[in-house]
Amino acid sequence: MGKWGIEGWEWRFIWRRDLFEWEKELIQVLLQELSLIQMNKDAKDRWVWLQEPHGCYTVRSAYGTQLSRRETADGQFYKAIWSSPVPSKVAGLAWKVALQRLPTIDNLAKRGVTVNLNGQGSCAFCRRHDEDNSHVIFTCSFSYGIWMACYNWLKVQTALPMDCITHFEHHGMWGVGGNRKTKWRVI
């Protein structure tokens, strides 16, 4: 990780694999950030979480830190996801969709992962269109059919919004009282 040199602490990172170009840029940013920290050879090491006054890490403060870093007016949206009456795995999926973090072909390509498509469209469901968050969840004919089946089951007629935040807000307008709350938990 590093060692004490003549001029102070010297960082020496050893990686288990070759880094991608975008990772090399992140390392440079990290090194710039680390250069601002003054290390003291005689001081005892200790863990301190700066987001809490008592210095102890909490998931709540980490989550709040992540949300505050996002320059978006959608803070209420993320709060609503986690307080909705759906199972946590569904809330987690909605959160990943909203953040564009699904492991879709386009996201994998951005991270340097190559996927053999055998000459077909990249969508795993329809094999006709490029796979991205919006397509997989909303515009793919397969996904669209599932959404319409769910709406029919709820006895709701609607047009399907094509982005996650609008889609979630669209559902919020219907309320979740009584029998409908039970159905939302199943969906």
Same domain, residue pair 99 and 162: yes
Same domain, residue pair 91 and 18: no
Give the structural domain span for 90. Answer: 84-186
Whole-model pTM over 0.85: no
Residue 77 lies in a domain: no
Task: Tell me if residue 167 falls in helix, strand or coil.
Answer: helix
pLDDT in tens, 80-94: 778 777 788 988 888
Q: What pLDDT was estimated at residue 171?
A: 65
Same domain, residue pair 124 and 149: yes
Residue 22 lies in a domain: yes
Same domain, residue pair 124 and 65: no
Q: What pLDDT was estimated at residue 142?
A: 92
pLDDT in tens, 135-179: 888 888 999 899 889 888 888 777 777 777 777 766 655 554 555
Choose between 187 and 125: higher pLDDT: 125
Residue 170 lies in a domain: yes
Number of domains the chain contains: 3
pLDDT, mean over the chain: 78
Amino acid at 57: Y
Using CA atoms, how far apart are residues 150 and 180, in angstroms rounded to an integer? 12
Q: How confident is the model at residue 43 (pLDDT cuts 50, 70, 90)?
A: confident
Q: What pLDDT was estimated at residue 174?
A: 53
Q: What are the backbone angles phi and psi of residue 31, rounded to the nearest 5°? A: -65, -35
Q: What pLDDT was estimated at residue 120?
A: 63
Evaluate if residue 73 carries a pLDDT over 50: no
Q: What pLDDT was estimated at residue 68?
A: 61
Using CA atoms, how far apart are residues 135 and 122, in angstroms rounded to an integer? 11
Evaluate if residue 121 carries a pLDDT over 80: no
Residue 41 lies in a domain: no
Same domain, residue pair 7 and 64: no
Nearest to 182 by CA among 86, 79, 83, 84: 86
How buried is 66 (Cβ within 10 angstroms: 0-12 exposed, 13-18 middle, 19+ buried)?
exposed
Using CA atoms, how far apart are residues 51 and 59, in angstroms rounded to an integer? 11
Same domain, residue pair 8 and 62: no
Give me the percent of the chain exceeding a pLDDT of 70: 81
Residue 57 lies in a domain: yes
Specify whether the CB–CB gap between 105 and 115 falls below 8 A: yes
Nearest to 11 by CA among 1, 23, 26: 1
Tokens 């006054």 sit on residue: 53
Same domain, residue pair 107 and 175: yes
Evaluate if residue 70 carries a pLDDT over 60: no
Residue 78 lies in a domain: no
Residue 79 lies in a domain: no
Q: What pLDDT was estimated at residue 71?
A: 44
Nearest to 156 by CA among 121, 130, 187: 187
